[in-house]
Amino acid sequence: MGTLGGHSILVVDDEPLIALSVTDALSDAGAEVVTAHDVGTALQAALNGEVSAAILDVQIGASNCAPICAALSSQQVPFMFFTGSDNHDVLREWAFIPTLAKPTGEAELIANVEALLAAAVTD
């Protein structure tokens, strides 16, 4: 079992190839992965109580991830942003949330998810 074994990670990205790449990296590290390519599907997954953490793209089609952030926060699910944007209202509103810039390597992605999960345990 990899370092993320026993964790279910929600990946929200409207770009299927990026979502697939992130999913593969997380799966290789032992995580169960739930993917969503739109806000509605992501909200359902965020509110079902079965995810350990989430990785969110900021811009999802014509929408942004603000409602997903609120849903995850209400469920006390830790999350991080994985985005190519560095200047978005959501990033300013949720400035205390870790942000990882696209593109990034698999090892850096996994290390950031591990840190996110570890910080959630100590909170």
The answer to whether residue 99 sits within a structural domain is yes
Query: Domain of 12?
Result: 8-112
Beta-carbon count within 10 A of 65 CB: 25
Residue 90 inside a domain? The answer is: yes
Burial of 54 (0-12, 13-18, 19+ CB in 10 A): buried
Average pLDDT of the segment spanning 45-61:
94
| Residue 107, domain member (yes or no) | yes
User: How many folded domains does the chain comprise?
Assistant: 1
Q: How confident is the model at residue 45 (pLDDT cuts 50, 70, 90)?
A: very high
Specify the CATH number for the domain of residue 17.
Answer: 3.40.50.2300
CA of 17: how far to CAs of 2, 12, 21, 95, 107, in Å?
A: 23, 12, 6, 27, 18
0.85 cut: is pTM over it?
yes
Is residue 38 assigned to a domain?
yes
pLDDT-based confidence at residue 69 (cuts at 50, 70, 90): very high
**Is the confidence at residue 15, as pLDDT, over 70?**
yes
Task: Report if residue 121 sits inside a domain.
Answer: no
